[in-house]
Each structure stands twice: as structure tokens, then as C-alpha cells.
């Protein structure tokens, strides 16, 4: 069993910073989130790290399934220079997702995971350069060991931004209550009554998560990736209604790539004017609606 080892001198870090300051490592965001890491672009090399972790009986942490690490981003955490961790596995199956390498179980072999303790050691070293840490995915709330991991990150001193699909409101509530997150970015996939069509699963606790986010007292944003041939203006109106009164709602155009549903998916991008029409519609329900 192998996992990936983090490496990278400060010079390499600076090069990575320069390289990605204008974009994500793997291109444009997948659905509402940043896209997954490709090892060719990250300071990471294969290692038998997981095996070492299991051999160490004093290891303080259980494993978290980490599928990627972006060493620095200027774009993903408002006002902060941050790193991004991509957790592996997701409890949704959005047909337009192209983070499929982090979603589909058959592609999630332990060989493709990063060693948690090496990630932590890396982030400890990088704290002098970074203010924040974005926990993205996949779906971070599907990670059993997320609270323990976040406690470690808070001890190091990171401000934490959570990217979530909001399906697990009970876990979200726990993280908010324990003051383990500082910013929440939550996806709204489609009208709640028809969530299966947009996310592959029923809305479950998504409505509860919306309420939690809005009452959390934390900075937050909601965001929806809009896909032509999937979302309609009426859908956008319903999504905005579901987060009525929210401080900030981002609409993001679908980025055509290889989606989860493969060639069968016939989603397209909206034209800029179409997107603006939908933004104006949504803006009637929330305090601020922007296109990103």
C-alpha cells in the first residue's frame, strides 16, 4: 500500500505559488469547488507513508482520506493566502462533477492517497507563509476524522474554510459548535425538491445546513454551478429562494470538461447574457448575488 509523499523546498513553494497564482493547479474549478490536484503539478511524490503510519503505534491521529494538496492559493479563501486539502470520497454524484477522481470509489485506491502526518508536517512548516487552509473535496463532511484533523490545524494556527455540499448538517453543526471552522462555502446544486436530478441523491439535510450556515455568525457564501441543459432560470429562482436573505450567493458557469457522467452528459456553458439574466433573478432573493 502506498500513499503520496509531500516534498518541496521553500524555492519550490515559491515556484508553485507563482505557477498557480492565476489559476488552480488543475485548471478551472470543478463544479463549485476547486479542482483536484494532479501530482505532476504539486510538490508530491509517491511514498510508502501509509505503511509507516500504521506501524507507528504512537500515531496520534486516525487516517483521513486526503486525495490532494494544493500548496498555495490566492483565490480560494477570501482575503487569505491559503493551502487547499482535497478529501477523497463524496456522498453526492452530481452529473456535472469533474472531480471524479476524488468521487468514484473505484478510483480511490489507497495508493492515491496522501499520508496524513506528512500533510500535517508540511502545513506546519508552511504556516509562516500561509494564513488559511481550505478543506475541499470530494466532500469533507464525509470524513469521519475531520474534527480531529481540524483540531490539529487550529492548533497550528490556521483559519479554516470549509467547502461543503451540506448533506451532513449534523456534522456541520458539530464543527461550528466546536469553533473548528472560520468560513463556510456551501454548494446549492439545484431546487431542493428535485435534488436527485442535480446531485444524484435527495436533498437530505441540505435545508438544515442552509439554516445552520446563515445562523452561524461566520462569514459564508452559497454557490451554484449552472449547467445549460440541466439548470433553467426557474431552477435558479428556486435555489435563490431556498437561501432567501443570504448575504452572498455566487453563480458559476459550468466549465466543460470530462464530467462524472462521462460522454453521456450533454451539459453546456451558458452565454454571459444568460448568466446575467439568472443573476438578476436570484438577486431578488439574496443580499448579494455575483457571477464568478
Contact residues: ligand SF4, CB under 6 A: 31, 33, 90, 92-94, 97, 99, 103, 137-139, 165
User: Considering the complex, what minimum distance in angstroms separates the CB of residue 242 from ligand SF4?
Assistant: 16
Question: Which residue's CB is nearer to ligand SF4, number 143 or number 152?
Answer: 143
User: Considering the complex, what minimum distance in angstroms separates the CB of residue 132 from ligand SF4?
Assistant: 20
Q: In what order do the strands lie in the sheet with 183-187?
A: 66-73, 82-87, 132-136, 159-164, 183-187, 220-226, 249-253, 289-291
CA distance 134 to 25: 14
Question: Which residue's CB is nearer to ligand SF4, number 83 or number 103?
Answer: 103
Nearest to 141 by CA among 59, 224, 80, 209: 209
User: Considering the complex, what minimum distance in angstroms separates the CB of residue 58 from ligand SF4?
Assistant: 34
Residue 124 neighbours by CB under 8 Å, 6+ apart? 156
User: Considering the complex, what minimum distance in angstroms separates the CB of residue 33 from ligand SF4?
Assistant: 6
User: Considering the complex, what minimum distance in angstroms separates the CB of residue 202 from ligand SF4?
Assistant: 14
Question: Which residue's CB is nearer to ligand SF4, number 68 or number 137?
Answer: 137
Question: Which residue's CB is nearer to ligand SF4, number 102 or number 123?
Answer: 102
User: Considering the complex, what minimum distance in angstroms separates the CB of residue 18 from ligand SF4?
Assistant: 28
Question: Which residue's CB is nearer to ligand SF4, number 43 or number 137?
Answer: 137
Residues facing 160 on adjacent strands: 133
Closest residue to bound ligand SF4 by CB: 97
Question: Which residue's CB is nearer to ligand SF4, number 42 or number 87?
Answer: 87
Q: 174-181 — which CB contacts under 8 Å span 24+ positions?
A: 174/147, 175/141, 175/146, 175/147, 175/150, 176/212, 176/216, 176/218, 178/147, 178/151, 179/154, 180/147, 180/150, 180/151, 180/154, 181/150, 181/218
CA distance 166 to 150: 17
Amino acid at each position: 500500500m502506498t500513499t503520496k509523499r509531500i516534498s518541496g523546498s521553500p524555492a519550490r513553494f515559491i515556484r508553485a505559488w507563482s505557477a498557480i497564482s492565476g489559476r488552480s493547479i488543475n485548471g478551472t474549478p470543478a463544479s463549485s469547488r476547486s479542482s483536484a490536484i494532479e501530482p505532476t503539478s504539486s510538490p508530491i511524490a509517491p511514498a510508502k507513508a501509509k505503511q509507516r503510519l500504521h506501524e507507528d503505534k504512537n500515531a496520534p491521529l486516525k487516517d483521513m482520506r486526503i486525495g490532494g494538496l494544493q500548496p498555495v492559493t490566492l483565490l480560494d479563501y477570501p482575503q487569505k493566502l491559503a493551502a487547499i486539502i482535497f478529501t477523497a470520497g463524496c456522498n453526492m454524484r452530481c452529473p456535472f462533477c469533474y472531480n471524479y477522481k476524488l468521487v468514484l470509489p473505484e478510483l480511490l485506491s489507497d495508493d492515491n492517497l496522501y499520508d496524513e502526518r506528512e500533510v500535517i508536517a508540511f502545513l506546519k512548516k508552511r504556516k509562516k507563509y500561509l494564513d488559511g487552509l481550505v478543506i475541499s473535496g470530494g466532500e469533507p463532511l464525509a470524513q469521519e476524522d475531520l474534527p480531529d484533523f481540524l483540531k490539529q490545524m487550529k492548533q497550528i494556527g490556521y483559519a479554516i474554510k470549509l467547502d461543503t455540499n451540506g448533506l451532513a448538517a449534523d456534522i456541520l453543526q458539530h464543527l461550528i459548535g466546536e469553533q473548528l471552522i472560520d468560513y463556510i462555502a456551501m454548494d446549492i446544486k439545484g431546487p431542493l425538491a428535485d435534488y436527485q436530478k442535480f446531485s444524484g441523491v435527495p436533498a437530505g439535510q441540505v435545508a438544515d445546513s442552509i439554516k445552520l450556515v446563515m445562523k452561524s455568525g461566520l462569514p459564508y457564501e452559497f454557490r451554484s454551478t449552472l449547467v445549460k441543459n440541466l439548470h433553467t432560470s426557474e431552477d435558479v429562482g428556486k435555489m435563490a429562494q431556498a437561501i432567501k436573505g443570504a448575504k452572498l450567493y455566487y453563480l458559476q458557469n459550468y466549465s466543460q470538461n470530462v464530467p462524472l457522467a462521462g460522454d453521456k452528459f450533454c451539459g453546456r456553458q451558458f452565454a454571459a447574457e444568460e448568466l446575467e439574466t439568472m443573476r438578476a433573478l436570484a438577486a431578488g432573493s439574496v443580499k448579494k448575488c455575483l457571477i464568478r
